Amino acid sequence: PDLVPSPPSPCGVEHQPEPTDDGESEPTAIDEPLPHGATEPRIAAEPELRVPEHHERECLA
């Protein structure tokens, strides 16, 4: 049973209790959204913006 709850537990359960126990609710929202929300959109936004630019230039040329 440890193998099943291991991956899903540390994903959001560990992050929540860690900052909550310390009494810092601010870092809890910053830690989660920053790595999960900022990292994903940034990585996807970079390639997406670069792809359309190259395609537009190629089509125009």
What residues in the chain have per-residue pLDDT under 70?
Answer: 1-61
pLDDT for the residue numbered 12: 47
pTM of the model: 0.12
Tell me, letter by letter, the H, E, C secondary structure of the chain.
Answer: CCCCCCCHHHHHCCCCHHHHHHCCHHHHHHHCHHHHHHHHHHHHHHHHHHHHHHHHHHHHC
The residue extents of the domains of the chain are 8-60
pLDDT for the residue numbered 30: 47
